[in-house]
């Protein structure tokens, strides 16, 4: 109360009178808004910061018009995925050229044009860019790649073996299946042999190109999943791939090099192989279990059995007798609460004693089928990223609620983060870090102005004036928020709003920028308590850091002491002089720095949408085989 009285005593009389006139309901509303966005200004902190020049705002005549209905600005949406259509490969140019060449009895590389007459009625379907690459390459280089004499050559046999092993990369071998024609003596005549081999040549090239395309960029286009997915195109010179394959004798090495080359990708492949060889968990606990002290559940003995099976000497010495005595109990008694809390703390969870999905997932793990899916999805998602993730780099994994700074193959920094809530999801993309802002202003996004501030401003136009926000018009002139008839505006508010630097600023003491169209960045927050929660999806889309000073020092290549000194100097910015990619990623299976795969909940239900897209791609491709 002393603090409150002191604060009230420091307010100007006019502001105090206006505040008291609002009454208790308004005060409660303001308190809620301050929790969400930050609010009043801390006087001692403001004294350290440079003052904005006093600007005399133009006189604004408030106009009272009929209020516009309360609007809403919607965020990105999820799409109905459409797989790449397949087209019939047009061999017209090749067959026309073949008809002008005289007959040659032996099927040699120089006989390619003669053999192309066998493509006249060949129905080969492929993706549009692959179909074009086939026509372009063979028109410019009318020679066999996969055939020598009258049979498939060693290059072809090596390629078929690689394609048949596609499942080791989480790909479907059926997508690349090609049958090598039988021995020459099994075909009736030279013409039939020519026709079979030239068709094999084209099918082989089409499926190899599909393999290269999938390995390098993924089986699906992630940008067709939703507006939250944002990845640059990965252009591939497919005709150039065929040209390279025509001259290399190291087909396996060439094809394997098209896949991501990062240690993370290799760790996921190892996990995929291990999962396929493993047996299913014999103890399966309901993944949606929610059990509080005093409640009962038949799932509890299963969980206690898993705990007892994995105890070490220290844990067993303290809790072994309790587990032995109550291990078959379906009642979650008070005696068992310390056991659960100790297990939660040991596994990095909030030790609240509540047995929920996060506790179950940590102790019981997901089913084998679920883990296989997550690893397969992670392999696909890694193909959307650069093959080499770079060093140094910042990697944010949203389902894990963590951010890491990695350099030289070592994780130098790892911290908890808060990500966007399901209604304001954080996007999946990558960019490059450019700048650190100290004591930042918060430029309020239009979506927050319209969806969350505007309803309050219609009732209380002067709220922003009292709470440390600046309002400017389209010409950059400061306008008192109390002078604006906010009820006139709908989804397009012609004013900019920013929150001035303060301890209550929604961005805290610093932000780390990597400019992108999603207006997402990393920043501090005054809401520190949220980092203690296991599930941390609470922001409007940006990434809040538990250790912002540590991350700022890491990306700037300096010390935390340097960051602290800059913060004391008020509002300023510092450029990042090194190339540091940042991955705002979404992986429900991901290796730690030692290569051990960890599994996480699908906070935005994106895995299901990815699964649907992959199934649609499989169905479309199967129809053409």
Q: How many other C-beta atoms can be found within 10 angstroms of the C-beta atom of residue 181?
A: 18
Radius of gyration of the chain (CA): 32
| Three-class secondary structure of residue 396 per DSSP | strand
Omega into 392 within 30° of 0, i.e. cis? yes
Q: What is the 3-state secondary structure (H, E, C) of 365-379?
A: CCCHHHHHHHHHHHH
Number of H helices, E strands in the chain: 22, 20
DSSP 8-state class, residue 111: G
| Three-class secondary structure of residue 320 per DSSP | helix
Do residues 600 and 399 lie in contact, with contact meaning Cβ atoms separated by under 8 Å? yes
Active-site annotation holds for 523: yes
Question: d(Cα 268, Cα 596) in Å, to the nearest integer?
Answer: 9
Contacts with 266 (C-beta within 8 Å, 6 or more apart), sequence order: none
Q: Which of 185, 523, 540, 571 is catalytic?
A: 523
Q: How many other C-beta atoms can be found within 10 angstroms of the C-beta atom of residue 437?
A: 20
Q: Which of 137, 169, 229, 542 is catalytic?
A: 542
The CA angle 92-97-103, to the nearest 5 degrees, is: 125
Token pair, residue 348, equals: 């990095």
Question: d(Cα 33, Cα 456) in Å, to the nearest integer?
Answer: 9
Sheet holding 442-443, edge to edge: 442-443, 496-499, 469-472
The CA angle 492-494-495, to the nearest 5 degrees, is: 125
Question: d(Cα 82, Cα 96) in Å, to the nearest integer?
Answer: 35
Question: d(Cα 23, Cα 277) in Å, to the nearest integer?
Answer: 67
Do residues 328 and 562 lie in contact, with contact meaning Cβ atoms separated by under 8 Å? no
| Three-class secondary structure of residue 608 per DSSP | helix
- Beta strands (DSSP E) in 144-241 are 147-148, 151-152
- DSSP H helices, 327-411, are 337-346, 357-364, 368-382
Token pair, residue 192, equals: 């039939």
Residue with tokens 């195109």: 233
Task: Indicate which residues carry an active-site annotation.
Answer: 523, 542
């Amino acid at each position: 109360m002393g603090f409150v009285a002191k604060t009230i005593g420091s307010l100007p009389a006019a502001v105090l009178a206006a505040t008291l006139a609002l009454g208790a309901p308004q005060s409660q509303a303001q308190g809620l808004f301050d929790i969400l966005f930050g609010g009043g200004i801390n006087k001692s902190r403001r004294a350290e910061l440079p003052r904005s020049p006093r600007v005399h705002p133009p006189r604004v005549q408030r106009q009272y018009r009929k209020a516009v209905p309360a609007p809403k600005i919607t965020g990105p949406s999820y799409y109905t995925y459409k797989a790449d259509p397949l087209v019939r490969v047009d061999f017209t140019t090749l067959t026309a050229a073949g008809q002008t060449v005289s007959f040659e009895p032996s099927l040699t590389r120089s006989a390619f044009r003669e053999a192309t007459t066998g493509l006249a009625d060949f129905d080969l379907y492929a993706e549009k860019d692959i179909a074009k690459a086939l026509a372009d390459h063979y028109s410019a280089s009318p020679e066999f790649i996969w055939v020598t004499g009258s049979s498939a050559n060693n290059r072809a046999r090596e390629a078929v073996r690689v394609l048949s092993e596609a499942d080791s990369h989480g790909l479907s071998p059926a997508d690349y299946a090609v049958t090598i024609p039988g021995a020459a003596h099994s075909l009736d005549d030279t013409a039939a042999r020519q026709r079979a081999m030239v068709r094999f040549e084209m099918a082989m090239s089409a499926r190899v190109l599909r393999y290269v395309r999938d390995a390098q960029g993924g089986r699906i286009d992630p940008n067709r999943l939703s507006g939250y997915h944002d990845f640059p195109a990965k252009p591939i010179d497919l005709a150039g791939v065929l040209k390279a394959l025509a001259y290399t004798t190291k087909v396996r090495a060439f094809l394997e090099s098209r896949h991501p080359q990062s240690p993370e990708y290799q760790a996921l492949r190892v996990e995929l192989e291990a999962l396929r060889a493993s047996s299913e968990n014999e103890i399966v606990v309901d993944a949606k279990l929610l059990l509080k002290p005093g409640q009962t559940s038949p799932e509890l003995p299963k969980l206690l059995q898993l705990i007892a099976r994995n105890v070490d000497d220290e844990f067993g010495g303290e809790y072994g007798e309790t587990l032995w005595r109550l291990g078959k109990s379906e009642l979650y008694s008070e005696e068992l609460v310390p056991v659960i809390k100790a297990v939660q703390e040991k596994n990095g969870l909030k030790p609240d004693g509540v047995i929920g999905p996060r506790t179950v997932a940590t102790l019981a793990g997901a089913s084998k089928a679920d883990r296989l899916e997550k690893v397969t999805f992670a392999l696909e998602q890694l193909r959307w990223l650069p093959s080499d993730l770079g060093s140094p780099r910042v990697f944010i994994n949203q389902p894990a609620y963590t951010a890491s700074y990695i350099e030289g193959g070592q994780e130098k920094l790892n911290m908890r983060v808060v990500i966007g809530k399901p209604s304001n999801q954080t996007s999946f993309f990558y960019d490059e870090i450019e700048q650190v802002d100290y004591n930042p202003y918060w430029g309020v996004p239009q979506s927050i102005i319209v969806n969350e501030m505007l309803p309050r401003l219609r009732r209380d136009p002067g709220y922003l004036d009292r709470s440390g926000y600046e309002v400017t018009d389209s010409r950059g002139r400061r306008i008192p928020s109390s002078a604006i008839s906010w009820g006139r505006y709908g989804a397009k508010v012609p004013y900019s709003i920013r929150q001035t630097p303060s301890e209550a600023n929604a961005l805290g003491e610093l932000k780390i920028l990597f400019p992108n169209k999603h207006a997402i960045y990393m920043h501090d927050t005054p809401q520190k308590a949220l980092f203690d929660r296991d599930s941390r999806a609470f922001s409007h889309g940006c990434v809040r850091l538990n250790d912002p000073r540590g991350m700022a020092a890491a990306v700037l290549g300096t010390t935390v002491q340097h960051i602290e000194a800059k913060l004391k100097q008020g509002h300023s910015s510092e450029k990042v002089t090194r190339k540091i990619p940042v991955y705002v990623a979404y992986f429900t299976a991901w290796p730690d720095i030692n290569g051990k795969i960890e599994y996480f909940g699908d906070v935005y239900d994106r895995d299901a949408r990815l699964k649907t897209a992959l199934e649609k791609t499989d169905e479309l491709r199967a129809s053409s085989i």
